[in-house]
Structure 1
Amino acid sequence: MINKKNFEQMRSVMDGFDKTREDVIKIARIILKNSKKSIFACHRGDLKNARILLDESKVKIKEMEKLISADHDLMISIHNEALEEFVEAECFYNFLKNKKIPTCKELNVSVETYLQGLCDLTGELTRKAVNEVIEGNVDGVLEIKKLISDLYEELMQFDFRNSPLRRKYDAIKYSLEKLEDLSLKIKLK
């Protein structure tokens, strides 16, 4: 009645999927960790170490994408979280190093992943601006404020609807308000 060989084959397929899924999760965690460490290194001014961590993440992203290309069902939330964190870290590093924000094409990520990482970037930029005030670098604060303002203006052109991306976009407004308040306090001194 039951084809036992068929069930053995299905079990083998499911076991293989589970193993590969665990591999994707493991790699994604490394990317997340390296990206967070890179952001922290950037805040400390250690751009050399930040670059090393980002380059390690790029290698891991290729490994993860290779696994996922074999079975798109492996594209799980931690995969997206890892790529978003990488985008945030890469953009933060490039802003500090080159005063440039790389494109989604340069980072080889989807538009949605890129936009989510970019929205998260504003939180790190705001933190950097606060540190610039502490260090007495008013020009640095104004430069960051302009970047966040420009990002917000561009992102206003999108219709994000009610999604995680929309909530991240809405948070930019609060970062911008914080920087405007900070800029006003600096000018009033």
Structure 2
Amino acid sequence: MNSQLDYINDLLEKDSELRDKIRDEVHDLDKKTRMMAGILNKLHSTPQDQIAPLLDSVRPIIQSCRKNSSALAEIIPPNQLWKWKDMWSISLRNAIYSAALVEYVTTRSLISLEQVNATLGIDDAWKDRFALTAEDYLHALITLVNELSRLAVNSVTMGNFDEPLKISIFVKDVFSGFSMLNLKNDTLRRRYDSLKYDLKKIEEVVYDVSLRKLSGTKAPEEVSDATKSSQ
């Protein structure tokens, strides 16, 4: 009996030590994601010709997240991904969001799952220890859309009247992609539903800019019924 208790106690102590190591690494990743979020928040008040240097200041921080990925993969024992992933899930989503926002502003395109893995240095060989799950990727994309709905409004304030239309086209594509998914995760499903409100908000900005003829780009001919009824 005592030997069994000693064995269990030894397992608990090892788990506790491992949890502390993971927590330290995640804490470092959190500091980086907060730093990136703070810099990227300046997009809402930065003139168009000053955005490139701002993005350049974020990219090295994103690259440095590779060290955290590698460290976590080394710490986690084989086949224990799902035992520990909740400890870093939110931090990883925030890192993905930053990478996705930089990619969108730079190329006007959606960062892929493969691109995120490459950007954050997540090796497929680690999939049983440290991996980017589809759920975390999708959560980050929803956060991206949430932020772009803010950017659509603030771009008009900054005098960039073409930006809302560009955002609208991108967000509609993302929303269309989400509509094709069979989302069984309750939290993810609820967050997906919130995209409808972001899309409506963006459409209202596009409609207003178009109505006032402020944009040099033609707005889409079709405006959602929800947007029309709100005018």
What are the within-5 Å matches in structure 2 for residues 64-75 of structure 1? 64-70=72-78, 71-72=80-81, 74-75=83-84
C-alpha deviation, 1:150, in angstroms: 0.7
Change (3 A) 1:175 1:33: farther
CA deviations on 1:81-102 (whole Å, 9 max, x unpaired) are 1121111111001111232322
Q: How does 1:13-162 map to 2 (within 5 A)?
A: 13-44=11-42, 45=51, 46-70=54-78, 71-72=80-81, 74-108=83-117, 109-161=132-184
Asked if 2 retains the 8 angstrom alpha-carbon contact of 1:24 and 1:74, the reply is: no
- Residue 3 (str. 1) matches residue 6 (str. 2): no
Displacement after TM superposition at 1:176 (Å): 0.6
Q: Which runs of 5+ in 2 are unaligned?
A: 43-50, 118-131, 213-231
Instruction: Tell me the C-alpha RMSD between the 2 structures.
Output: 1.9
- State the partner residue of 1:164: 187
Structure 1 residue 158, shift from structure 2 partner = 1.0
Distance 2:186 2:204 in 1: 28
- How far apart, CA to CA, are the structure 2 residues paired with 1:16 and 1:181? 55
Task: Quote the sequence identity (%).
Answer: 20
CA apart distance, 1:76: 3.8
Structure 1 residues 96, 161: CA separation in 2 closer, same or farther (over 3 Å shift)?
same
Structure 2 counterpart SS, 1:138 = coil
Which protein is richer in helix relative to its size?
Answer: 1
TM-score, normalising length: structure 1: 0.88
Rounded to whole Å, the distance in 2 between the matches of 1:181 and 1:14 is: 55
Give the deviation of 1:114 after TM superposition: 0.9
Q: Secondary structure at the match of 1:136?
A: coil
Counterpart contact for 1:39–1:93, Cα < 8 Å: no
What TM-score does the superposition give when structure 2 sets the normalisation length?
0.73
Moved over 4 A (4+): none
* C-alpha distance in structure 1 between counterparts of 2:108 and 2:66, whole Å: 21
- SS at the partner of 2:76? helix
Structure 1 residue runs of 5 or longer lacking an equivalent are none
